[in-house]
């Protein structure tokens, strides 16, 4: 047991020493660490920006909603005052006051009854400063406290404001006896028997419930701005009307906007500016909310986010270290295998690059059998060529470049929802997705579907040319083939056969038929065609034994079909100079 423990400790010590000297370990560790840190940093920046934007929108919407509620409540209260005035105007005793010189002869305790009614209204509504009834016949004023002659009443300033030709309810901002508090006078004037009468309700603006509640909060201010661009209400207002310039935040007021909300961050104290025009009255409500709470929340969120990010990066670094350690351990074991012998190897072997040392050892063993080395090299060459062909067939750089050029041209011509560009982009996306899917074998029906997409993209490039004819037998659609078999042949037909002389008569014919248990797939163009020598060179280049040089796409098709169907697959190419070329593929219907 003791010996086993000692051996384990010795192995770990050797592994640690090797780890410290390993270039591969540190290169992989640094590379993976940088990749993960960059990914997490980008994710963190995006997430923080999104969270910050979400918080901003939440606060902005909250302020806008609060102002809308304020406007609704205040307008509703003013509507209630109009209703109160309308009720007074319909009251028989009030009408008697407006109509008769001495209405007390008609009603017992007349003045006391009206005053009691006015007193109830005045004291039950905190925002009501006073209510006057003015009779032009008797030239007297009746309030909740007194019945007095017009010339003895100390607040007749409102009478100079009222238009005698206007019998609807009128609104005026004014002061009582020339000093604060300022009131909003709601006046209903009418003419009875040639004499003017009026009902006057004076509202204390600073006692309106909603405005009073909001004004108690130090971080938000509420203002009224008239349609003439004057400040007619703010908490502790100094003058009856004030210019907007007295409040720096009101520089954002936009008289052309019905509703407007914006977050202002270019000042020392960020704030949300919101305005909404009254639905019924000639003024706008403005709310300025200072964002100390928002700033504090954002700072706290930033600190917490940085701590979490730091913890994540630390965890990732530990994970990367463990991953690199696990990756290096097999290499270490392999080195130990090569180094194991009856006599210890020289210590300077550790100064060599590990992978170079392994490559030298493998090469020395392979050289013992030259035949095996030659065969292995040939197989590797074929494998590399096949991989290259497969990648180039799946995503042809020329095809991508040309397609993007088409999209760019279409963007320059016209934009709009019904524009063909979205459809073209979608088709390109579907084609690329199909190219990189892990599935190798597909049914011919699926391959045809994406081949049509590719052909449509080519037609967009050449202004709806060439014309395409399809001759598809339903029985052939179930044949299994490697994906992206038709596309290289169509590409070859268009670019080498038709593109040089593309016109209205240019045509492409794609046929899928059956012959007993075989599927016949052909692509024909009526392009420039090939002479006999060029055709022979093409057929020669498709031979597996010929090195890869040109005709990459078509050779890729032939190689992949041979791998799948072996000798059951044949390809036939027919071409006549000036008349066109036909590619015919013959392969089994099922595999």
The 10s digit of each residue's pLDDT in 444-454 is 898 899 888 88
- Report pLDDT for 541: 80
On the question of pLDDT at 337 being above 60, the answer is no
DSSP assignment string, 535-589: HHHHHHHTSTTSPP-S-HHHHHHHHHHHHHHGGG-EEEEEEETTTEEEEEEEEES
Residue with the bigger pLDDT between 561 and 323: it is: 561
State whether residue 495 is helix, strand or coil. Answer: helix
Element holding 445 (H helix, E strand): helix 444-461
Please say if the pLDDT value at position 341 is more than 50. Answer: no
CB-side neighbour CA atoms (13 Å) of 547: 3
Report the C-alpha gap between 64 and 260 in whole angstroms.
Answer: 8
Peptide bond into 438 cis (omega under 30): no
**Angstrom distances, CA of residue 325 to CA of 31, 328, 406, 506:** 14, 5, 49, 62
Distance CA 535, CA 538 (A): 5
**Band of pLDDT at residue 161, cut at 50, 70 and 90:** confident
Residue 516 DSSP SS3: coil
In a domain, 402, yes or no: yes
Is 549 within a domain? yes
Q: What is the pLDDT of residue 345?
A: 42
DSSP, collapsed to helix, strand or coil, labels residue 12 as helix
Q: SS3 of 459, please? A: helix
Mean pLDDT value across the chain: 77
Give me the domain span that covers residue 184: 91-207
Which of 207, 235, 256 finishes a domain?
A: 207
Looking at residue 511, what is its pLDDT?
Answer: 94
Q: Give, for 523, the enclosing helix (H) or strand (E).
A: strand 518-525
Beta strands in 143-241 (DSSP E): 147-149, 169-176, 179-192, 195-204, 220-226, 230-233
Q: What is the pLDDT of residue 513?
A: 93
Domain stop point among 207, 227, 244: 207
In percent, the amount of the chain with pLDDT more than 70 equals 72
Q: Which pLDDT belongs to residue 437?
A: 67
Closest CA relative to residue 581, chosen from 541, 528, 506: 528
Task: Tell me, yes or no, whether 349 lies in a domain.
Answer: no
Report whether 561 contacts 587 (CB < 8 A): yes
Q: Which CATH number is 505's domain given?
A: 3.30.565.10
What is the DSSP secondary structure assignment for residue 496, as one 8-state letter? I
How is 381-404 classified by DSSP, letter by letter? HHHHHHHHHHHHHHS-HHHHHHHH
**Domain assignment of residue 145, yes or no:** yes
Render 305-357 in DSSP notation, one character per residue.
HHHHHHHHHHHHHHHHHHHHHHHHHHHHHHHHHHH-SSSPPPGGGGGS-HHHH
Residue 153 lies in a domain: yes
Q: Which tokens hold the place of 309? A: 């990010």
pLDDT confidence of 338, banded at 50, 70, 90? low
CA R_g for the chain: 45
Whole-number Å distance between alpha carbons of 399 and 458 = 9
* Residues 130-144, mean pLDDT to the nearest whole number: 89
Range of weakest confidence among 21-25, 223-227, 311-315, 458-462 = 21-25
* pLDDT surpasses 60 at 532: yes
Its pTM stands at: 0.46
Whether 191 maps to a domain, the answer reads yes
Which range has the worst mean pLDDT, 17-31, 78-92, 228-242, 461-475? 17-31
| Residue-level pLDDT at 344 | 40
pLDDT of res. 9: 53
Residue 395 or 545, more confident: 545
CA distance 321 to 238: 69
Of 142, 177, 207, the domain-final residue: 207
Q: How many CB atoms lie within 10 A of CB 161?
A: 13
Largest Cα span, the chain? 139
**Residue 439 — pLDDT band, cuts 50, 70, 90?**
low
Per residue in 286-325, pLDDT (tens digit) is 988 887 666 676 677 777 778 887 787 788 778 777 777 6
pLDDT at 18 over 60: no
pLDDT at residue 36 greater than cutoff 60: yes
Residues 6+ apart with CB under 8 A from 401: none
The answer to whether residues 64 and 288 touch, using CB atoms and an 8 Å cutoff, is: no
How many domains would you assign to the chain? 2
CB environment 179-214: b (16+ within 10 A), e (fewer): eeebbbbbbbbeeeeeebbbbbbbbbbbebebbbeb
Question: How confident is the model at residue 347, as a pLDDT?
Answer: 42
| pLDDT recorded at residue 520 | 93
Residue 158 has pLDDT above 70, yes or no: yes
**Per-residue pLDDT tens digits for 219-244:** 788 888 988 888 888 877 777 788 88
139-148, 296-305, 528-537, 580-589: least confident range: 296-305
Q: What is the CATH number of the domain that holds 113?
A: 3.30.450.20
* Element housing 274 (H / E): strand 271-277
pLDDT digit string, tens, across residues 173-218: 888 766 666 788 889 888 887 788 899 998 887 777 677 777 667 7
The whole-number pLDDT of residue 346 equals 43
Q: What is the pLDDT of residue 392?
A: 52
Tens digits of residue pLDDT in 354-405: 555 555 565 566 555 566 556 556 555 655 565 555 555 554 545 654 565 5
Q: Can you read off the two tokens belonging to residue 55?
A: 């918080």
Residue with more model confidence, 263 or 415: 263
Handedness of CA 156, 162, 167, 173 (dihedral sign): negative
The pLDDT value given to residue 510: 93
Taking the CA atoms of 468, 473, 475 and 476 in sequence, report the sign of the dihedral they define: negative
Please, is 493 exposed, middle or buried when counting C-beta atoms within 10 Å of its C-beta (0-12, 13-18, 19+)?
A: buried
Q: Is residue 400 part of a domain?
A: yes
Closest CA to 82 of 188, 204, 224, 192: 188
Is residue 359 included in any domain, yes or no?
A: no
Here the contacts of 116-122 (C-beta below 8 Å, separation 24 or greater) are 117/91, 117/93, 118/142, 118/143, 118/144, 119/144, 119/145, 121/84
Cα 249-212-79 angle, rounded to 5 deg: 100
């Amino acid at each position: 047991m003791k010996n086993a423990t000692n051996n384990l400790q010795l192995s770990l010590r050797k592994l640690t020493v090797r780890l410290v000297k390993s270039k591969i370990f540190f290169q992989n560790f640094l590379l993976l660490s940088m990749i993960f840190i960059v990914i997490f940093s980008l994710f963190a920046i995006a997430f923080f920006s999104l969270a910050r934007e979400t918080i901003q929108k939440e606060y902005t919407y909250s302020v806008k909603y609060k102002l809308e509620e304020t406007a609704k409540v205040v307008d509703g209260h003013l509507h209630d005052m109009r209703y109160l005035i309308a009720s007074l105007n319909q009251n028989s005793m009030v009408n008697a006051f407006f109509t008769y010189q001495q209405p007390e002869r008609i009603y017992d305790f007349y003045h006391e009854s009206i005053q009691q009614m006015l007193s109830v209204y005045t004291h039950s509504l905190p925002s009501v400063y006073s209510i006057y009834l003015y009779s032009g016949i008797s030239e007297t004023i009746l309030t909740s406290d007194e019945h007095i002659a017009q010339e003895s009443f100390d607040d007749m300033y409102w009478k100079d404001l009222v238009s005698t030709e206007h019998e609807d309810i009128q609104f005026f901002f004014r002061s009582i006896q020339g000093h604060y508090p300022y009131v909003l006078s709601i006046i209903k004037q009418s003419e009875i028997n040639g004499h003017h009468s009026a009902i006057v309700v004076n509202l204390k603006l600073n006692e309106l419930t909603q405005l009073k509640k909001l004004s108690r909060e130090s971080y938000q201010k509420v203002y009224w701005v008239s349609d003439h661009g004057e400040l007619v209400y703010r908490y502790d207002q100094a003058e009856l009307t004030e210019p907007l310039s007295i409040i720096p935040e009101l520089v954002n007021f936009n008289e052309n906007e019905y509703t407007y909300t914006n977050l202002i961050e270019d000042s020392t104290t960020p704030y949300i500016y919101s305005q909404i025009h009254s639905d019924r009255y000639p003024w706008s409500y403005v709310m300025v909310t200072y964002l100390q709470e928002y700033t504090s929340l954002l700072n706290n969120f930033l600190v917490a986010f940085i701590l979490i990010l730091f913890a994540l990066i630390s965890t990732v670094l530990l994970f990367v270290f463990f991953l690199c350690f696990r990756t290096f351990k097999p290499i270490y074991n392999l080195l130990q295998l090569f180094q194991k012998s009856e006599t210890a190897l020289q210590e300077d072997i550790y100064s060599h690059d590990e992978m170079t040392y392994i490559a030298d050892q493998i090469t020395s063993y392979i050289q013992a059998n030259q035949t095996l080395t030659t065969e292995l090299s040939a197989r590797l060459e074929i494998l590399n060529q096949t991989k290259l062909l497969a990648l180039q067939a799946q995503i042809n750089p020329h095809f991508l470049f040309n397609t993007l050029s088409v999209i760019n041209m279409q963007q320059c011509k016209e934009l709009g929802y019904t524009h063909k560009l979205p459809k073209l982009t979608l088709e390109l996306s579907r084609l690329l997705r199909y190219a990189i899917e892990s599935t190798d074998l597909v049914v011919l029906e699926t391959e045809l579907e994406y081949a049509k997409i590719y052909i449509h993209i080519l037609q967009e490039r050449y202004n709806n040319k060439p014309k395409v004819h399809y001759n598809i037998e339903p029985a052939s659609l179930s044949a299994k083939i490697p994906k992206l078999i038709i596309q290289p042949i169509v590409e070859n037909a268009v670019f080498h056969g038709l593109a040089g002389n593309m016109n209205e008569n240019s045509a492409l014919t794609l046929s899928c038929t059956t012959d007993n248990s075989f599927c016949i797939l052909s692509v024909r163009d009526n392009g420039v065609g090939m002479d006999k020598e060029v055709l022979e060179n093409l057929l020669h280049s498709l031979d597996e034994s010929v090195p890869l040089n040109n005709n990459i796409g078509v050779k890729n098709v032939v190689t992949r079909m041979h791998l799948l169907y072996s000798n059951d697959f044949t390809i036939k190419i027919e071409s006549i100079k000036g008349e066109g070329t036909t590619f015919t593929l013959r392969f089994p219907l099922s595999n």
